[in-house]
């Protein structure tokens, strides 16, 4: 049922306009991104691997620096490409495609 809800929600465009995003401080974006990233990554296989490494290797700061550097290296190209291509993406088509994908996943789960 959740996939169908996300499919419907995906079709609703964001209400914030670009001018309000530019006027705001960078701290709001930093906090929102930090919270979203924390919630998305909590309990995934990366976290499990980090726990195993932290239990096995000392000093702990090396594990922290290594996992942080690894995440930065993975996310840097995505953020860079996103900022360069965001204005060129057809947002309506992207929303429709994403909604169709979520609906298809929902159907697949219901039918299997």
Residue 76 vs residues 6, 14, 73: alpha-carbon distances, Å: 27, 24, 5
Residue 68: inside a domain: yes
Q: What is the pLDDT of residue 106?
A: 94
- The residue written with tokens 């995440």 in the block is 71
- What is the CB-side half-sphere exposure of residue 13 using CA atoms within 13 A? 9
Residue 40: inside a domain: no
Query: Which two three-digit tokens encode residue 19?
Result: 């001018």
From 74, 80, 5, select the one nearest 37 (Cα to Cα). Answer: 74
Question: How far is it, in rounded angstroms, from Cα 67 to Cα 80?
Answer: 20
Q: What is the pLDDT of residue 16?
A: 59
Q: What is the pLDDT of residue 103?
A: 96
* Whether 104 contacts 4, CB under 8 Å: no
pTM summary value? 0.54
Residue 52: inside a domain: yes
Domain count, the chain: 1
Domain interval for residue 69: 1-10+46-112
Residue 29: inside a domain: no
Residue 36: inside a domain: no
Q: What is the pLDDT of residue 41?
A: 79
- Successive 10-residue mean pLDDT values, the chain, 112 residues: 90 67 66 85 84 91 92 91 86 91 95 91
Q: What is the pLDDT of residue 58?
A: 87
Residue 34: inside a domain: no
């Amino acid at each position: 049922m959740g996939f169908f809800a996300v499919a419907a929600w995906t079709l609703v465009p964001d209400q914030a306009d670009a001018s309000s995003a530019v006027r705001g401080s960078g701290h709001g974006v930093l906090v929102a991104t930090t919270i979203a990233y924390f919630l998305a990554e909590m309990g995934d296989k990366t976290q499990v691997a980090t726990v195993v490494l932290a239990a096995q290797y000392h000093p702990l700061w090396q594990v922290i620096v290594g996992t942080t550097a690894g995440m930065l290296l993975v996310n840097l190209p995505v953020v860079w490409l996103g900022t360069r291509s965001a204005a060129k993406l057809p947002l309506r088509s992207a929303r429709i495609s994403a909604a169709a994908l979520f609906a298809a996943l929902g159907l697949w789960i219901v039918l299997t």
